[in-house]
């Protein structure tokens, strides 16, 4: 029995080793882990692959990801280093992807690939609990070896951090204050699990769910935007200390409490609101119109949550505003409507006090969206809906009923996406639909006819005789008569 | 006389005017209740409305069956509360019905907005019901005036501003409407209206505990009429229909159940029901039996019935079959009763006896129009007027023993003020009458006046409505004093013109009299003066109402606001800050201990389990919470752990000067705790040596060691500095406050709400004091 078990363990290894010598090989792997834009972790893996097989031509390359990192994967792209062409990817299993090479790799040939990963929320605060105004420390931990289905001859890992590195696993080498190098490792050599502890005082949030809803109204030339957030702070926990909070407020000292949420909205936004589950949040402001290079004019909503958000705390709210629809809608001569909308809206958390807010803080990308849902509710009467997405995936069409909708109801375009990558913030979604000019008049007609029917009914009711007596003395007349007596 | 305007007859014009005026009154009634939404937001106010709101949401989300059988385990931990059987479901069902109707039309309105705007919407209905009541007892003029008063009277507004989602919001409408239907059914002797009265009464029973007022007042009315020898078949039909259907219907509400058959509050109605059967039988027997026999029969029957009835009642009460009056009702007879026997009732500010300025504050000039209205009711004492008089006397008494009952007084004050005011209008706006030429003639005219009055009242004549329209537009607060004066002057002018035409004035001046112009001046001038005075008063009334509404009654008390020295407004939102923190950052099953005042808000906004809440049905449990607050840290810790408490919440006003905080309520907690645990808690121990209620270093040891004191002042002095003062009590802050068994979990921006976590047991089994020293 025991022998059998040993055999079971050994045989695959033997097979693997034998095939490894006769197939694709990673001759050199350099992994750069960029921790400067937390909570997003960018891993760039530069790999040189070589076909060691005698005759076989390889057309695909398999990329694998650690099982426990796979749920945090936000984006994966593969490029040929020389030409910069990106390769098509298909998902095999949750932790393996297959990239299709542009042309088959002939025996003996070499190819350099760049594999770019973006992960979210990979780094943990260590120690888990600190004092409210202490510096935040974080711990990055991973295998020293890049996972791959192919044998790797030589590899190393470079970790770059934003704040100073405080500690790292033995075997690493410090390269300046904010960088650590592990490796190079050759052949079967394994550095085991490696860790880097570092300081980083930037705010880090995670939106457990984020829902952005657009409501399109042709009648009012109105594009209504509603954003729903369930936010959690990724920072280290700390026992709440009111005295310390007040002292740091008066002394203008930093602490880890997130006090403001900054949302950039287009300059024409109006009728803004900021609400949570138990009502208006009365403490918020909006900046004057601002301009930045290469961007449309915008304003910044400064939302102050009901309570400052400490590490591990949650805050849920929604905010919204109205935009002029005509800026986002193009109509072709065949009354085909094209609606071009931002795929997602940005939100930056900020621990600074109100007086110290800057534009850079509003642009900071420090919130990772884990579950994202986008809904575009089209007006009643929109037909032949087509959607172009900036991400892989499909849009769902859902019938909904809204204000006074009666006959057809409206169609909502629903898109869900996990772990939104920062690159998507600049992208747009295009929704095209047909909408006849008559449909615009349907609602007023309906409301009008409803009132008309109501009046007719009232008019009939007022002319009815209710009395039982054949003479037709109504109840009112009777009561009046009784009063006269 | 009959002129058509826009193709409408005079009657049509009058009804159009009435509808328009009622519409405007409704708008004003709704509009003046929206201050709180404009100043603050669409939010549920105060304490009890939060419970109603929460149950409404439950009803909307889970349907009626689940709502009916709802056992809420998150309240009164660990006892729980049978919600379906311990509430008046009227208001929740009303809101849910409106909500579902709107959603049927695909209007996606939030249930919170339905709840917030329910009371204003019903206030418009109340105004309309008051109009009908006024019309029932006098005429349309009185009705419209009463409606206008009802729309804006602060006594009613205090309980029905937007967001004040409480039973009273719809109950006052039902009260007025039930009384209107009752009076009409008495007048007509109609079983239909009797049944409608009963249905409306059923709705009232489902909505508010104040239905007891109806079920006592209506029998009282019947009894008074019987005592006055005014028995009639109409009365018999009306009351029998109402009582039978109404009582059976009211027993369908689980919270009421069989109470109508065995509690003292309902016995009067039952007794009168029996009595009216006897009287009806007697009057029937009278038609059959000779007079002298009948007299003997009557005497014997009355005496024996009285003896049997009374002894039966006493016996049943003694044996406990008929429940004695509950404490809340006792305190209506003896205002000192509650303070001695039930501190929990006395601790509520709205159960205090009314201070006399309150009447003026809430009713303004109506309060002195009330006696005038009673006088006019006496002058022609119809069955309806007997009711008005009884209602006003009893409501006035109740209003003076309990502040919140000004609410039930308000409708009758408005109606009687409307009656009195309409008399004034009829007298002083009547320019068509012949000016009296001599004293003899004048008296003749004045004696003829009531007859003319009556005739006028019977049919709703034009002059009535024209008068109403004039005055109403003046009292309808858009016009300032000047405009009203001008319009009155114009009316006077118009009237003089018509009289100058000679169409309606066939007076022939005697030779020794004044010239016609002068005479006209003498007739019109006093009327003009009186009417301008009343216009001024009406304007002031409206002014007062708006002012009171906006300053006193439109604060949600969940959100506070204060004004800075430069006039800017600060919103103080600490309560919701704390509740939302609890909602988002504690375990969903965490138990929060706080004084009962905040129980409903905690359940509604924080969505966490509470130990006690505003339902106050279990005095022992409340006393236990009081004991935890009043005990020293170790005792409190042990008790808190035994009750699975995770968090303790205290309200603390010393930073802002918010005087409704827990330290100010603390003596009530001590008293209530003492009532149940007299050995552990003593009120005297909380006063210092000078006998003062102190909080600083000269406080008594019991005070300084009490949990409430520690939780409130923990580390507060560190921020305020060594010489800081408590802004509420004006005393120095205690210098050293230690806390070992509890840890700060959250404190709101202005320190108004402080939340502490009950520490877990120490890992090494030490006490927390030892652990913190170590």
User: What's the CATH number where A381 sits?
Assistant: 2.60.40.1730
- Cβ contact (<8 Å) for B579 and A278? yes
Contact residues, A window 392-431, toward B, CB-based 8 Å cutoff: 401-406
Would A406 be classed as within a structural domain? yes
Would A4 be classed as within a structural domain? no
Residues A138 and A212 placed together within one structural domain of the fold: no
Would A441 be classed as within a structural domain? no
- Parent domain of A375: 205-435
CA dist B56 and B46 (Å) reads 16
Would A101 be classed as within a structural domain? yes
CA dist B324 and B263 (Å) reads 7
CA dist A281 and A273 (Å) reads 9
Would A427 be classed as within a structural domain? yes
Chain B residue numbers with beta carbons less than 8 Å from the beta carbon of A313 are: 584-585
φ and ψ of B755, to 5 deg:
-115, 130
Residues A63 and A117 placed together within one structural domain of the fold: yes
Tens digit of pLDDT for each residue in A158-210?
999 988 898 888 888 888 888 999 878 887 777 788 899 999 988 899 999 99
Residues A301 and A425 placed together within one structural domain of the fold: yes
Chain A residue numbers with beta carbons less than 8 Å from the beta carbon of B41 are: 279-280, 282
- Asked if residue B453 has pLDDT above 50, the reply is no
pLDDT in the model for residue B325: 66
H or E segment and range at residue A116: strand A110-120
**For chain B, which domains are there?**
571-773 (3.40.50.12610)
- Cβ contact (<8 Å) for B106 and A241? no
Contact B216, B169 (CB under 8 A): no
Tens digit of pLDDT for each residue in A387-426?
998 888 788 888 887 776 666 788 899 999 999 998 898 8
Residue at which a domain ends, from A151, A171, A199? A199
- Asked if residue B472 has pLDDT above 90, the reply is no
% helix, strand, coil for chain A, step of 5: 20, 45, 35
Q: Cβ of B184 under 8 Å from any chain A Cβ?
A: yes
pLDDT tier, A232 (very low <50, low <70, confident <90, very high otherwise)? very high
- Cβ contact (<8 Å) for B576 and A278? yes
Residues A290 and A322 placed together within one structural domain of the fold: yes
Q: Cβ of A333 under 8 Å from any chain B Cβ?
A: no
Residues A192 and A289 placed together within one structural domain of the fold: no
The structure tokens listed for A251 are 């002394």
CA dist A42 and A32 (Å) reads 8
Residues A254 and A339 placed together within one structural domain of the fold: yes
Residues A46 and A171 placed together within one structural domain of the fold: yes
Tens digit of pLDDT for each residue in B606-658?
999 999 988 878 889 999 999 999 999 888 999 999 999 999 999 998 888 88
Burial classification of residue A217, based on how many CB atoms lie within 10 Å of its CB (0-12 exposed, 13-18 middle, 19 or more buried): middle
Would A307 be classed as within a structural domain? yes
Q: Which residue of A has its CA nearest to B579?
A: A278
Best residue of A303, A447, A483, A484 to probe chain B, by most B CBs closer than 10 Å: A483
Q: Cβ of B384 under 8 Å from any chain A Cβ?
A: no
Q: Cβ of A273 under 8 Å from any chain B Cβ?
A: no
The size of the A-B interface in CB pairs under 8 A is 74
pLDDT in the model for residue B78: 87
Torsion sign, CA atoms B434, B440, B443, B445:
negative
Residue pointed to by tokens 């790797």: A152
Best residue of A303, A307, A314, A466 to probe chain B, by most B CBs closer than 10 Å: A307
The structure tokens listed for B347 are 């601790």
Residues A171 and A222 placed together within one structural domain of the fold: no
pLDDT in the model for residue B268: 85
Beta pairing partners, A302:
A262, A285
Residues A159 and A282 placed together within one structural domain of the fold: no
Residues A315 and A365 placed together within one structural domain of the fold: yes
Would A236 be classed as within a structural domain? yes
Torsion sign, CA atoms B304, B310, B316, B321:
positive
Can you tell me whether residue A232 is helix, strand or coil?
strand
Considering only CB atoms, A307 lies closest to which of B42, B458, B746, namely B746
Chain B residue numbers with beta carbons less than 8 Å from the beta carbon of A306 are: 573, 576-577, 580-581
CA dist A336 and A436 (Å) reads 9
- Cβ contact (<8 Å) for A306 and B577? yes
pLDDT in the model for residue A406: 65
Residue at which a domain ends, from A174, A199, A224? A199
Residue at which a domain ends, from A397, A414, A435? A435
Residues A81 and A173 placed together within one structural domain of the fold: yes
Tens digit of pLDDT for each residue in B250-261?
999 988 888 888
Lowest average pLDDT, out of A27-36, A328-337, A447-456, B561-570, goes to B561-570
Best residue of B142, B584, B655, B760 to probe chain A, by most A CBs closer than 10 Å: B584
Report ipTM for this prediction.
0.88
Best residue of A230, A232, A306 to probe chain B, by most B CBs closer than 10 Å: A306
Would A11 be classed as within a structural domain? no
B200-204: Cβ within 8 A, 24+ apart: B200/B174, B201/B242, B201/B246, B201/B249, B201/B250, B202/B246, B202/B249, B202/B250, B202/B252, B203/B90, B203/B174, B204/B90, B204/B171, B204/B174, B204/B175, B204/B178
The structure tokens listed for A143 are 């295998």
Mean pLDDT score across all residues of chain A: 85
CA distance A113 to chain B (A): 46
Question: How many folded domains does chain A comprise?
Answer: 3
Residues A291 and A370 placed together within one structural domain of the fold: yes
Tens digit of pLDDT for each residue in B563-580?
777 777 888 889 999 999
DSSP string, A240-287: --HHHHHHHHHHT---S-B-EEEEEEETT-EEEEEEETTEE---EEEP
């Amino acid at each position: 029995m025991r022998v059998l078990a040993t055999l079971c363990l050994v045989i695959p290894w033997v097979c693997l080793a034998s095939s490894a010598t006769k197939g694709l090989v990673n001759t050199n792997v350099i992994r750069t882990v960029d921790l400067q834009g937390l909570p997003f972790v960018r891993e760039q893996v530069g790999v040189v692959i070589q076909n060691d097989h005698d005759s076989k031509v390889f057309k695909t390359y398999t990329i694998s990801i650690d099982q426990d990192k796979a749920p945090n994967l936000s984006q994966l792209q593969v490029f040929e280093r020389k030409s910069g062409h990106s390769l098509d990817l298909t998902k095999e299993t949750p932790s393996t992807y297959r990239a299709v090479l542009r042309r088959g790799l002939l025996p003996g040939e070499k190819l350099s690939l760049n594999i770019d990963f973006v992960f979210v929320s990979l780094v943990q605060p260590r120690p888990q609990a600190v004092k409210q105004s202490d510096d935040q420390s974080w711990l990055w931990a991973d295998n020293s070896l890049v996972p791959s289905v192919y044998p790797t001859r030589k590899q190393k890992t470079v970790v770059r951090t934003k704040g100073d590195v405080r500690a790292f696993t033995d075997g690493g080498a410090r390269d300046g204050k904010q960088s650590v190098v592990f490796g190079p490792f050759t052949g079967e050599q394994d550095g085991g699990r490696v860790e880097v502890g570092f300081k980083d005082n930037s705010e880090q949030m995670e939106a457990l769910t984020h829902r952005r809803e657009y409501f399109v109204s042709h009648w009012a030339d109105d594009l209504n935007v509603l954003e729903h957030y369930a936010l959690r702070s990724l920072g280290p926990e700390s026992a709440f200390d009111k005295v310390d909070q007040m002292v740091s407020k008066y002394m203008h000292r930093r602490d880890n409490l997130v006090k403001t949420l900054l949302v950039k909205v287009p300059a024409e936004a109006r009728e803004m609101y900021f609400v949570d589950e138990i009502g208006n949040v009365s403490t918020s402001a909006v900046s004057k119109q601002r301009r930045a290079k290469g961007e449309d004019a915008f304003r910044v909503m400064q939302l102050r949550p009901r309570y400052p958000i400490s590490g591990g705390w949650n805050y849920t709210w929604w905010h919204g505003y109205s935009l002029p629809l005509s800026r986002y809608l193009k109509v072709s001569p065949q009354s085909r409507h094209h609606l071009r909308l931002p795929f997602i809206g940005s939100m930056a958390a900020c621990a600074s006090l109100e007086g110290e807010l800057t534009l850079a803080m509003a642009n900071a990308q420090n919130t990772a969206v884990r579950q994202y849902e986008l809904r575009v509710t089209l007006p009643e009467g929109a037909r032949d809906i087509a959607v172009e997405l900036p991400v892989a995936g499909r849009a769902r069409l859902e019938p909904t009923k809204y204000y006074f909708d009666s006959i057809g109801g409206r169609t909502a375009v629903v898109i869900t996406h996990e772990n939104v990558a920062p690159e998507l913030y600049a992208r747009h979604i295009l929704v095209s639909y047909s909408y006849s000019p008559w449909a615009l008049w349907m609602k007023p007609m309906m409301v009008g006819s409803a009132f008309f029917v109501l009046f007719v009914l009232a008019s009939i009711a007022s002319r009815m005789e209710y009395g039982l007596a054949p003479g037709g003395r109504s109840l009112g007349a009777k009561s009046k008569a009784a009063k006269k007596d | 006389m009959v002129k058509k305007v826009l193709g409408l007859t005079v009657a049509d014009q009058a009804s159009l005017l009435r509808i328009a005026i009622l519409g405007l009154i409704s708008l004003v009634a709704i509009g003046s209740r929206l201050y709180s939404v404009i100043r603050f937001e669409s939010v549920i106010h105060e304490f009890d409305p939060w419970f109603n709101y929460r149950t409404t949401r439950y009803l909307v989300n889970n349907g009626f069956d689940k709502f009916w059988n709802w056992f809420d385990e998150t309240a009164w931990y660990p006892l729980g509360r049978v919600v379906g059987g311990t509430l008046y479901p009227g208001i929740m069902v009303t809101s849910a019905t409106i909500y579902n109707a709107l959603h049927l039309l695909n209007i996606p309105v939030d249930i919170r907005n339905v709840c917030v705007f329910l009371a204003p919407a019903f206030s418009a209905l109340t105004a309309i019901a008051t109009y009908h009541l006024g019309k029932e007892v006098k005429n349309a003029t009185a009705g419209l005036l009463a409606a206008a008063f009802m729309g804006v009277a602060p006594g009613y507004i205090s309980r029905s501003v937007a967001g004040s989602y409480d039973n009273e919001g719809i109950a006052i409408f039902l009260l007025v409407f039930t009384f209107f239907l009752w009076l009409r059914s008495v007048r007509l002797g109609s079983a239909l209206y009797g049944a409608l009265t009963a249905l409306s009464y059923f709705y009232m029973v489902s909505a508010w505990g104040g239905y007891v007022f109806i079920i006592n007042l209506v029998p009282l009315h019947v009894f008074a009429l019987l005592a006055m020898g005014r028995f009639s078949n109409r009365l018999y039909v009306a009351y029998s229909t109402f009582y039978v259907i109404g009582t059976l219907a009211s027993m369908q509400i689980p919270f009421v159940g069989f109470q109508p058959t065995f509690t003292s509050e309902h016995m009067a109605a039952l007794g009168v029901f029996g009595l009216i059967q006897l009287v009806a039988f007697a009057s029937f027997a009278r038609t059959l039996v000779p007079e002298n026999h009948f007299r003997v029969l009557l005497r014997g029957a009355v005496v024996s019935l009285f003896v049997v009835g009374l002894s039966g009642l006493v016996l049943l009460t003694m044996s406990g079959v008929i429940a004695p009056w509950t404490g809340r009702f006792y305190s209506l007879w003896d205002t000192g009763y509650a303070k001695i026997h039930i501190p929990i009732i006395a601790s509520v500010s709205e159960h205090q006896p009314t201070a006399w300025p309150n009447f003026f504050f809430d009713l303004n000039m109506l309060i002195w129009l009330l006696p005038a209205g009673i006088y006019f009711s006496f002058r022609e004492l119809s069955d309806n007027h007997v009711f008005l008089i009884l209602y006003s006397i009893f409501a006035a008494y109740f209003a003076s023993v309990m502040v919140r009952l000004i609410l039930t007084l308000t409708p009758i004050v408005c109606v009687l003020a409307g009656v009195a005011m309409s008399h004034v209008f009829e007298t002083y706006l009547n320019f068509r009458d012949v000016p009296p030429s001599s004293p003899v003639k004048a008296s003749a005219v004045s004696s003829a006046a009531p007859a003319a009055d009556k005739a006028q009242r019977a049919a709703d004549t034009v002059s009535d409505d024209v008068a109403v329209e004039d005055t109403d537009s003046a009292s309808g607060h858009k016009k300032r004093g000047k405009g009203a004066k001008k319009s009155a002057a114009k009316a006077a002018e118009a009237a003089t013109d018509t009289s100058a035409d000679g169409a309606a004035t066939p007076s022939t001046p005697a030779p020794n009299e004044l010239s016609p112009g002068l005479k006209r001046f003498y007739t019109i001038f006093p009327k003009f003066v009186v009417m301008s005075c009343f216009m001024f008063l009406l304007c002031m009334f409206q002014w007062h109402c708006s002012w009171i509404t906006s300053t006193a009654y439109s604060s949600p008390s969940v959100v506070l606001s204060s004004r800075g020295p430069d006039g800017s407004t600060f919103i103080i939102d600490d309560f919701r800050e704390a509740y939302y923190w609890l909602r988002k950052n504690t375990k969903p099953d965490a138990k929060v201990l706080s004084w009962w005042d905040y129980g409903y808000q905690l359940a509604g906004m924080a969505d966490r389990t509470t130990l006690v809440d505003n339902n106050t049905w279990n005095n022992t449990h409340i006393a236990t919470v009081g004991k935890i607050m009043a005990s020293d840290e170790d005792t409190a810790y042990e008790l808190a752990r035994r009750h699975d408490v995770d968090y303790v919440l205290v309200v603390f006003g010393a930073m802002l000067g918010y005087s409704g905080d827990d330290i100010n309520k603390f003596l009530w907690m001590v008293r209530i705790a003492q009532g149940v645990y007299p050995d552990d808690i003593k009120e005297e121990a909380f006063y210092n040596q000078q006998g003062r209620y102190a909080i600083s270093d000269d406080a008594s040891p019991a005070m300084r060691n009490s949990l409430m004191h520690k939780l409130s002042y923990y580390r507060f002095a560190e921020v305020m500095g060594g010489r800081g003062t408590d802004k509420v009590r004006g005393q120095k802050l205690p210098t050293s406050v230690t806390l070992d068994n509890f840890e700060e979990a959250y404190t709101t921006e202005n320190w108004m709400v402080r939340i502490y976590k009950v520490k877990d047991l120490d890992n090494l089994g030490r006490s927390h004091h030892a652990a913190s020293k170590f």
